[in-house]
């Protein structure tokens, strides 16, 4: 099997997709959306290169309800991603795959389409800071949730037009820092920084600024 360059994995993820999920954040994104909250994932040489077989082993061991792949831009590494998703589908029927991409489907080449075809649900399109949305699991109004399989339709149909009062968000921390999981509404990160400063905390190296 090949290797996939990732920013990190998270478990349990409960704020991006239904149920308790494994999150895999790919490393490397050339799209440079203004206002991206994950600029730490842009550098294609950053993060860690992991064996796809190790990711499959992690997925199997955790027995999550579903898999969320985001980034970074997962479809910058379409061959390794395809291998990973193929193994996930083969080992875990009934568990859904939610794949985020900054590309529109019409922009994908054959290899990228082959990887994307293994997701039950795609969220597509650049993050557009000028186009806010309250739709769950989407960062801007132009982003589309595409239900590709019966499982995807069964599990996500109720969420396509769902606008929660507050977007689901999680925080996790480890030796490297504090991680936000979810899609915050516009202005939420600035407000968070303001609140932290009011508490006497000085966040540095935040991922939503260069």
Write out the residues near ligand SF4 by the rule CB under 6 A: 29, 31-33, 36, 38, 41, 71-73, 102, 126-127
CB of 208 vs ligand SF4, minimal distance in Å: 10
Q: How far apart are CA 23 and CA 181, in angstroms?
A: 9
Closest CB 90 distance from ligand SF4, rounded Å: 28
Task: Choose between 89 and 186: whose C-beta lies nearer to ligand SF4.
Answer: 186
Residue 186 Cβ vs ligand SF4, minimum distance, rounded to whole Å: 13
Which pairing describes strands 121-124 and 144-147: parallel, antiparallel, or unpaired?
Answer: antiparallel
User: Based on CB atoms, which residue is closest to ligand SF4, 26 or 87?
Assistant: 26
Least spacing, CB of residue 116 vs ligand SF4, in Å: 14
Per 3-state DSSP, the chain is made up of helix, strand and coil in percentages (nearest 5) of: 30, 25, 45
* Shortest Å distance, C-beta 73 to ligand SF4: 5
In the complex with ligand SF4, which residue's Cβ is closer, 31 or 147? 31
- Residues forming a β-bridge with 52: none
Q: What are phi and psi of 170, to 5 degrees?
A: -130, 155
Q: How many helices (H) and strands (E) does the chain have?
A: 5, 9
Q: How far is CA 197 from CA 121, 145, 193, 202, in A?
A: 38, 36, 6, 6
Question: To the nearest whole angstrom, how small is the minimum distance from the Cβ of residue 36 to ligand SF4?
Answer: 3
Four-CA torsion 156, 161, 167, 171, nearest 10 degrees: 20
CB nearer to ligand SF4: give 22 or 123. 123
Measured from the CB atom, the residue of 36 and 97 that comes closer to ligand SF4 is 36
30 or 200: whose CB is closer to ligand SF4? 30
Task: Say if CB 117 and CB 140 are below 8 A apart.
Answer: no
Residue number closest to ligand SF4, CB atom: 102
């Amino acid at each position: 099997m090949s290797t996939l360059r990732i920013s990190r994995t998270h478990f349990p993820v409960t704020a991006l997709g239904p149920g308790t999920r494994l999150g895999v954040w790919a490393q490397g994104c050339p799209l440079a959306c203004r206002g991206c909250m994950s600029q730490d994932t842009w550098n294609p040489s950053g993060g860690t290169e992991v064996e796809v077989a190790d990711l499959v082993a992690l997925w199997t061991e955790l027995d999550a309800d579903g898999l969320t792949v985001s980034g970074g831009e997962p479809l910058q590494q379409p061959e390794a991603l395809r291998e990973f998703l193929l193994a996930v589908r083969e080992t875990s029927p009934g568990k859904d795959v939610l794949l985020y991409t900054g590309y529109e489907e019409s922009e994908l080449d054959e290899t990228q389409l082959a990887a994307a075809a293994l997701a039950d649900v795609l969220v597509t399109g650049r993050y557009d800071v000028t186009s806010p949305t309250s739709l769950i699991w989407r960062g801007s109004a132009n982003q589309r949730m595409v239900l590709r399989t019966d499982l995807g339709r069964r599990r996500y149909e109720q969420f396509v037009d769902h606008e929660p009062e507050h977007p689901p968000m999680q925080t996790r921390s480890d030796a490297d820092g504090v991680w936000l999981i979810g899609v915050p509404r516009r202005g939420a990160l600035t407000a968070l920084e303001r609140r932290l400063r009011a508490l006497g905390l000085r966040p540095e190296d935040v991922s939503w600024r260069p």
